[in-house]
Amino acid sequence: MNNQEMLSEEQVDFLREMMNIGAGNAATALGQMLRCQVNMEIPLAHVLPVPKVFSVLGDPSLPVACVRMGMVGDVVGELFFIVPAGQRADLTHLAERAMPGPTKKAPDLDLSVLTEIGNILVGVYLTAIHDFCQLHIYHTVPTIAIDMIQSLLDESIVALSPHVRALILIENEFIVEERHIRTFLLLIPAVQSVRTLVDSVEGARMAYGSE
């Protein structure tokens, strides 16, 4: 998004409201997967310049787990579910505990667990966007990698939108048995989809009021 196309503050607030609706469903879905009570803080929606996205996610030299999905449909682009370095062990520990005995030692289990959590979250958020904005957005099969955040995102930023000035970053905080686990969802619309996304968010904001 360049400066003219960037979401306004009101639109970001509205986006956050939509994400909040999605968050309730995400907590339920995760609770079923982890077999315990999962609560979620109200998600934060940030529109940040690209270098700031990297720094918000912590020390850029530390590895993050990153689940990438393509967006297809009314809005084209890519989605990333990001679990910062310090949070990964907590999340996979909870998931492994919920697994029945023999699967516990499966190799790459934590990768598939993180991929599935990303899948669930993206699904509920895209549903929320659909319900409010009437946008049909689907995601492609997720792939996961663990590395430095900038190295994971550089190709997508270059390919989708080299003029990009700001990205939409949604911060989710789960609370599981008093443990707080922060994860992030990064939305990179392709340059030709930015207008559609911004217009639809604005249309929904007007339709549902900004109270």
Partner 1 sequence: MVPNRIQVALGEGVVANAPHIVLSSGLGSCVAVILYDAQRGIGGLAHIMLPAQLRNAECGMWNEQSATCTEPGRSVRIPKSTFQCADTAIAALLERLRSRGAVRRDIVAKMVGGARMFSCYENPDTGIGKQNVVSVKRILRRERIALIGEDTGGHHGRSVEFHLDSGRVIVMAIGREEREI
**Contacts with partner 1, residue ranges (CB under 8 A):** 50-51, 54, 60-61, 63, 68, 70-72, 76-77, 141, 143, 145-155, 158-163, 190-193
Shortest distance (Å) from residue 72 CB to partner 1: 7
d(CA 207, CA 211): 11
Rounded Cα–Cα distance for residues 182 and 179 (Å): 10
Nearest-5° angle of CA 130, CA 132, CA 136? Answer: 20
Q: How far is the CB of 148 from partner 1 (least distance, A)?
A: 4
Nearer to partner 1, 145 or 206 (CB): 145
Our CB check for partner 1 shows the closer of 21 and 85 to be 85
Task: With beta carbons less than 8 A apart as the criterion, state whether 82 and 186 touch.
Answer: yes
Asked if residues 80 and 153 have their Cβ atoms less than 8 Å apart, the reply is: yes
Least CB distance to partner 1 at residue 116 (A):
16
Scored b (16 or more CB within 10 A) or e, 25-46 reads bbbebbbebbeeebebeebebb
Closest to partner 1 by CB, 10 vs 154, is 154
Q: What is the nearest approach in angstroms of partner 1 to the Cβ of residue 209?
A: 32
Q: Which of 116, 122, 119, 124 is nearest to 95 (CA)?
A: 116
Measured from the CB atom, the residue of 172 and 193 that comes closer to partner 1 is: 193
